[in-house]
Amino acid sequence: MHIHTINHRIGGTMIKSRGRDLVGKIVISEETGRKFGVVGDINFISESGELLNIVLVEPTKHTGDLNLEKDEGNRVLIPFSSVKSVGDFVIVSEKEII
């Protein structure tokens, strides 16, 4: 698991957090409220801190129906650019990932 401090922008606001702060949060669709799964890890560029993907664990049936990109370990990836907010849950725009 990555534990580096990362900076990311959500909704025009710069947020500083640790990758491990996102791990374990449930990922939910902004449009439908459907659950995608749980954040298992985050892919990012270590030199710049640019976030690339959320790596899902425990993907739901809904996630499987969307035919999302997968990594070499067959884990589902959600582009971090689709993240709209992070709090108790990670809210993503479904229309930006399909």
Number of domains in the chain: 1
For 88, the domain range is 5-96
* Of 49 and 30, the one with more pLDDT: 30
CATH number at residue 72: 2.30.30.240
Please give the model's pTM, rounded to 2 decimal places.
0.78
CB 22 within 8 A of CB 87: no
Q: Kindly provide the residue ranges of all beta strands, DSSP E only, lying in 1-98, ordered along the sequence.
A: 5-10, 13-18, 26-29, 35-44, 51-57, 77-79, 83-86, 89-92
Per residue in 74-95, pLDDT (tens digit) is 999 999 999 998 889 999 999 9
